[in-house]
Amino acid sequence: DGGITQSPKYLFRKEGQNVTLSCEQNLNHDAMYWYRQDPGQGLRLIYYSQIVNDFQKGDIAEGYSVSREKKESFPLTVTSAQKNPTAFYLCASSASTGYGYTFGSGTRLTVV
């Protein structure tokens, strides 16, 4: 499982709570991404970052926030504003923006 690490593997969130998902890569990749995976809907882009200290919204950014203070790290915060956060979250990185991704093993978030 080298290359890109997501933690935790499972996460439970109470109503009104913010939670942060970790994503770390040692591939020296410039670009990093967060996707949400729901059954039957494929992968939907939440946020992406091409370089340190810069990130852009994807298709479903509402209720989420990110930071990119280090090249290796791209944490995702699921805020209380995200009304339906239960899903499988995948972090990915690539050497060049838009080309072949390396994915992390994912975090399964459940609202309790």
Partner 1 sequence: GENVEQHPSTLSVQEGDSAVIKCTYSDSASNYFPWYKQELGKRPQLIIDIRSNVGEKKDQRIAVTLNKTAKHFSLHITETQPEDSAVYFCAASKGGGFKTIFGAGTRLFVKA
Q: Of 34, 101, 107, 109, which one interacts with partner 1 (CB under 8 A)?
A: 101
Binding of partner 1 by 100 (CB under 8 A): yes
Binding of partner 1 by 5 (CB under 8 A): no
Residues 48-87 that bind partner 1 (CB under 8 A): 48, 50, 56, 58
CA atoms within 13 A on the CB side of 18: 10
Residue 19: name the closest of 70, 89, 73 by CA. Answer: 89
Q: Of 43, 52, 61, 111, which one interacts with partner 1 (CB under 8 A)?
A: 43
Specify the pairing of strand 76-78 against strand 64-66.
antiparallel
Binding of partner 1 by 96 (CB under 8 A): yes
| Residues of this chain that bind partner 1 (CB under 8 A) | 33, 35, 40-45, 48, 50, 56, 58, 90, 96-106
